Amino acid sequence: MPVTIVDDEVIIGFDAQRLNEIFGRSREEELYDVLIIGAGPAGLTAGVYCERKMLNTLIVSENIGGQALESWAIENYMGFRMVTGDELMKKFEEQVRSGNIHMELDRILSLQSEDGTFIAKTATGTKYLAKAVILAQGKRPKKLGVADEERYLGRGLSVCSTCDGPLYKEKVVAVVGGGNSALQTAIEMSKIAREVHLVVRSTIRADESYLQAYKERKNIITHTHSVISALHGNSLLKAITIMDRDSGRETRIELDGVFAEIGWIPNTDFLEGFVDMNEQKEIRIDINCHTSVPGIFAAGDVTNIKTKQIITAAGEGAKAALEAYEYHVNG
């Protein structure tokens, strides 16, 4: 956690509002042409396209890179034979910061409309005004739903394998999930850890490329039709109990870490009742990234588009920005 000392004042963590008060100028009450919420592939691309259209643009996000940061190896993004999510997002960020785009690290708590102006309020108490909004805040990892889950988060339980994976060299870990993300994590961790337990709720459902690589790894032990029923340890996670969903039989596995790869939840809590969403709480958009509210556009994994890929998120971000420009021009 960063600690900033200014004269006699100690600022712990990234207090965006206080740091702006000291080092920058307040952007509160400034009316932006476009406010972009989220700084993943969709949000950052939207920012670049907005700047190219000479729109006064602000990006507000809790982090820079979004879900893409958690990708071990990306092999289907044009221009790169293989690139990590972290490397790719650094390229995105460099391009955004080379332009005249304002960026703030903060979390949006509410969004409303008043007399044709959109008003966003943040966790630091800041208020931002904009003529148009692009929603690109992505998703967050689902929880396992097991007792003591919060207690072990960061103490053996991880939702970011690319961040924490190297800590488990020659150790025993478990990966929970049966989709592409889970298999990719299991494959990569099998090259680092001594033993990997893959815990799959039903059956494995992943692309053939991942299945082939998974079958070649000899130190992955697979438990299908199974769920984690308990976590064990003191200050650190030391073991899990898995339950066979068919027989109810439970098995204890001694290990050092668990990586949860069971899916994602859209970051749309603050939009409840404001824009139309589907049953999964994804924002409904049309083919041109329009939401149910004029002047609000959406792009990337937070929307109801079927394909959840970095390259499609970036493309949708570009579309949303161009539509926001049309809205700005035509009023």
Residues catalogued as catalytic: 160, 163-164
Q: Spell out the residues 6+ positions from residue 76 whose beta carbon is closer than 8 angstroms to its own.
A: 309, 311
DSSP 149-192: HHHHBTTTEES-HHHHGGGGTTSEEEEE-SSHHHHHHHHHHHTT
Token digits for 91?
A: 């390229």
How far does Cα 14 stand from its chain's mean position?
Answer: 19
Q: Would you say 98 and 81 are in contact if contact means Cβ atoms under 8 Å apart?
A: no
Residue with tokens 């920005």: 321
d(CA 272, CA 21): 31
Q: What share of the chain is helix, strand, coil (3-state, %, to 5)?
A: 30, 30, 40
What are the φ and ψ backbone dihedral angles of 129, each rounded to 5 degrees?
-115, 140
Q: Please write down the HEC assignment for all residues of 30-82.
A: CEEEEEEECCCHHHHHHHHHHHHCCCCEEEEECCCCHHHHHCCCECCCCCCCC
